[in-house]
Amino acid sequence: MASQALGMIETKGLVALIEASDAALKSADVTMTGWEKVGSGLVCAIFTGDVASIKAAVDAGAEAASRVGEVTAVQVIARPHDDLSKLGSFIG
């Protein structure tokens, strides 16, 4: 995982997350490794790929999601530590 970047998009509601994920996957060479229910209607999609691709994908996804719902958070981690994968099987 150390050579790949990690990107996350958190939205309020599943419809916005599906829109974000579709746009992210179409915009760059990234892999969606999973999604999680955060709680209180919040959901988060996780993507991996090279840093530039993740940045492009997350930006495109957030833009698309904001047209149909609410984006609550966007994050790119360029070189996540290997121990971060202990948070869940969807990371790395």
| CATH tag, 5-85 | 3.30.70.1710
Count Cα atoms within 13 angstroms, Cβ side, for 18. Answer: 3
Instruction: Read off the pLDDT of residues 29-85 as tens digits, 9 standing for 90 and up.
Output: 999 999 999 999 999 999 999 999 999 999 999 999 999 999 999 999 999 988 887
pLDDT digits (tens, 9 = 90+) for 12-41: 999 999 999 999 999 999 999 999 999 999
The β-bridge partners of 74 are: 9
Q: What is the pTM of this model?
A: 0.92
Of the chain, the end-to-end C-alpha distance in Å amounts to 5
Q: Which of 14, 7, 15, 16 is nearest to 71 (CA)?
A: 16
